[in-house]
Copies of this chain bind each other. A is one copy, B any other.
Amino acid sequence: MDVRTLKLAVIRGDGIGPEVVDEALKVLHAVTPDDLVIEETPFSLGATRYLETGDILTEDDMSAIASHDAILLGAVGGDPRDPRLAGGIIERGLLLKLRFAFDHYVNLRPTKVYDAVATPLAAPGAVDFVVVREGTEGPYVGNGGAIRTGTPQEIATEVSLNTAFGVERVVRYAFDLADRRARKHLTLVHKSNVLVHAGALWQRTVAAVGAEFPDVTVDYQHVDAVTIHMVREPARFDVIVTDNLFGDIITDLAGAISGGIGLAASGNINPDGTLPSMFEPVHGSAPDIAGQQKADPTAAILSVALLLDHIGRSDLATAVTRAVEADLADRGTTQRRTAEIGDAIAAAATARTTTA
């Protein structure tokens, strides 16, 4: 993708979402050069709007968003104890609906341990890997049901759907990514000794696509074992490709062992580029600290870097990530306000683009 005018749909969302998006946009504006015009359209979506209007995502919302080049999303979801929001109604009706409708089959989640950032691990080593999480299949398809609900005879099912089409395209993306990285190593994560049908499809696909990438070394790990390696030797990973649910679980763990979920960025990507990709921090809306300027906007800012990469402006993406790295190196133990962190990163990023 190569754009001169970036039409950006902005979903600030709930909780700390608006605060972190404000800082992400601040940094985006700071690095935007004259040859790039950004047209932002705000979409007021999330738990707050749902509780006010009863609408989560209308057909009109969907087609309006679809006409954009990309989406920047803060976080959605209200108070988890609110019974009106039970069963992930916002998460499924908004976040997952966008991922599925816009065919975000690559959910890209990089993890890096920065020197200056405290991690819960005693000796993490040089951690720098990317999880390529499948985004449109697996146990996330909403194919389940229940009978005799609320009785002692209740039966509830959840069906994981996996297709050669869906697995092949994400595996190919992961190989392509691994091939462009220094270590050229790909780890497939699944649970093929128990989920034998889906597991076999993933394993066969990795073997087949892998034949086209002779320079990439391939490894397989069960999802349970991968959690062990991720805390004991996370530096071993380069690119990980995995199913939607396993990817959900291991990327939170990856966030935790690196600088924490406050640094974890993600891109929900439609590599075909016909529908808008969506960039969002991995963290949630954290309603308990909302509006207090306590949230760390770094994950949202790094999501902007992924967005810039996606639209073909890796020069600007690098300016953002370098500015983040500089800011992380500077962070003392004093707690800064959300806007202060954004200001500092924006200033550092500006310096980098103007001197470049």
Contact = CB atoms under 8 A, between A and B. Distances in A.
A193 B88 contact: yes
A273 interface: no
Interface of A: 87-88, 91-92, 96, 119-123, 139-140, 142, 144-146, 148-165, 168, 191-201, 204, 223-225, 227-228, 231-232, 245, 248-253, 255-257, 260-261
Given A196-B144, A253-B227, A256-B227, A204 B120 contact: no
B249 A249 contact: yes
A87 B224 contact: no
A146 B198 CA distance: 8
A194 B144 CA distance: 10
A79 B123 CA distance: 30
A155 B163 contact: yes
Contact of A139 (B150, B153, B195, B255): B195
17 contacts: A87-B196, A96-B194, A139-B160, A139-B195, A140-B194, A145-B197, A150-B204, A152-B165, A155-B164, A157-B159, A157-B160, A158-B162, A194-B248, A224-B248, A225-B252, A227-B249, A231-B256
Counting from the closest, the 7 A-B pairs by CB-CB distance are A88-B193, A154-B164, A227-B253, A224-B252, A156-B197, A228-B256, A158-B160
Q: Which of A158, A250, A253 is the most central at the interface, judged by chain B CB atoms within 10 Å of its CB? A: A158
